[in-house]
Amino acid sequence: MAKLPDRYMEERRQEILDAARRVFVEKGYDNATMNDIAAAADVSAGSIYRYFENKRDLIAAASNACIEDDLRIWSTELPEGTTPGEAFLALGEQTRRDFADPGRLDECVLRLESYLACSRDPELRDQVLPMMEESVQQLAGFVRAAQESGEFDANIDPIQFARFLHVFGAGTGALSVLYGSEFDTDSVWNQLIALASLWFTEDFRASVLARMGEQAK
């Protein structure tokens, strides 16, 4: 049998993964079947196994893709002269905008499905947790840089602060699923910045709160 081109294989894999995301959001991970995913991708169920070993691999790939998207956003080049503390705030603003995206709700559902599935399946957890830890480490890097620049309190534990931010983001996503369009993510995010400012140094906190006050006018 002739070997299929790598580009075709990657495109087909992505189509199957996109279909799996839609099915997991619509039916839930436990209720979704490989036949459901095959139908959504317009392929035979057997052909899926060329790309993914089982349903566990599909939800792991879908969940990890969400985190990879986060990492790409956090790696975006900022204007020259941006301080580490300003980079941290820019990251927060980008996350705020992402939560306002209409497609974000489906992603929040998918992430919740993957977390629940991980709680029941240690092998799946082992596939998802390393990517989550990578995102924690990247956030912690922002915190360390801001400490070195004198904008964040030097006594903060960067890893634990990064985990706190993940908890806040995950909670915001979960409540946006529950409340839908009624959930005011902007107000919630303003509260996060106000809370996080407790760990800013005095001068940086003053500049941030002054900026927030100007934006509120």
Last residue of a domain, one of 52, 72, 93: 52
Residues 108-163: tens digit of each pLDDT: 999 999 999 999 999 999 999 999 999 999 999 999 999 999 999 999 999 999 99
- In a shared domain, residues 80 and 105: yes
- CA–CA separation, 153 and 146 (whole Å): 9
- The pLDDT, as a whole number, for residue 1 is 43
CATH number for the domain including 128? Answer: 1.10.357.10
- The pLDDT, as a whole number, for residue 101 is 81
Task: Please report which confidence band the pLDDT of residue 208 belongs to, taking 50, 70 and 90 as the band edges.
Answer: confident
For residue 212, is pLDDT > 70?
no
- Max Cα distance, the chain (Å): 67
In total, how many domains does the chain have? 2
Q: Please count the CA atoms within 13 angstroms of the CA of 172 that sit on its side-chain side.
A: 22
The Cα-based distances of 109 to 90, 119, 213 in angstroms read 25, 16, 33
- The pLDDT, as a whole number, for residue 3 is 56
- The pLDDT, as a whole number, for residue 213 is 62
Q: Which amino acid is at 114?
A: S
- In a shared domain, residues 103 and 210: yes
CATH number for the domain including 43? Answer: 1.10.10.60
- In a shared domain, residues 96 and 186: yes
- In a shared domain, residues 66 and 153: yes
- In a shared domain, residues 72 and 150: yes
Domain encompassing residue 9 = 1-52
- In a shared domain, residues 3 and 93: no
- In a shared domain, residues 28 and 60: no
The alpha helices in the chain, defined as continuous H runs, are 6-27, 34-41, 45-48, 55-74, 84-100, 104-120, 122-148, 158-179, 185-196, 202-216
152: which strand partners? Answer: 200
- CA–CA separation, 25 and 63 (whole Å): 12
Instruction: List Cβ neighbours of 33 (8 Å cut-off, separation of 6 or more).
Output: 55
- In a shared domain, residues 48 and 84: no
pTM over 0.75: yes
Distance of CA 206 to the CA centre of its chain: 29
- CA–CA separation, 205 and 217 (whole Å): 19
Q: What end-to-end distance do the CA atoms of the chain give, in Å?
A: 67
